[in-house]
Amino acid sequence: MSSLQQQSPYGQYINFLSQGVFAFQRDIVTGNAVFFPRVVAPRSGSVALEWEVSQGLGRVYATTTVHYRGEQPLNVALISMDEGFRVMSRVEGIGPDDVTIGMRVCVRINKAQEGSDPYPVFVPFAQSRDKLKNSKEEAR
């Protein structure tokens, strides 16, 4: 990635994801959360944007199951994050038809593969809590 790409809002976002951090911007003028990363805030036109780290918790706002011929169905979901922005992604760890509106979810960053950038996906909050509990017990 060139220096200019790294300095762009998208480049900074990818750098956060590469570190396992889900970040978003906040418009200092209005206090509104801004996502997808931008140079200028929507509505206000402000360039006064600063980065914040999301806690990674949200709720499924909308969901659909996509069926491609000859492939397993997959879920596409719009997630309302607790910080006040929405993310188009998917919910993993359960069947695509089991994802429901209002379901509590937690972000998981999928690492970059050759030729692609890291990206956020979501898992049901109950599963993420159980994994955290199990990893703490294993650490003892």
pTM of the model: 0.81
List of domains in the chain: 1-53 (no CATH), 55-140 (2.40.50)
What residues of the chain score a pLDDT lower than 50?
132-136, 139
The reported pLDDT for the residue numbered 106 is 96
At 70, list the tokens.
Answer: 């000859």
- What's the confidence (pLDDT) of residue 130? 55
Residue 125, helix vs strand vs coil? helix
The two three-digit tokens of residue 23, written as one number: 């970040």
- How confident is the model at residue 4, as a pLDDT? 52
Instruction: Collect all residues with Cβ–Cβ distance below 8 Å to 93 and sequence separation of at least 6.
Output: 123, 124, 127
Contact 93, 67 (CB under 8 A): no
Please give the pLDDT value at position 5.
Answer: 54
State the pLDDT at residue 3: 59
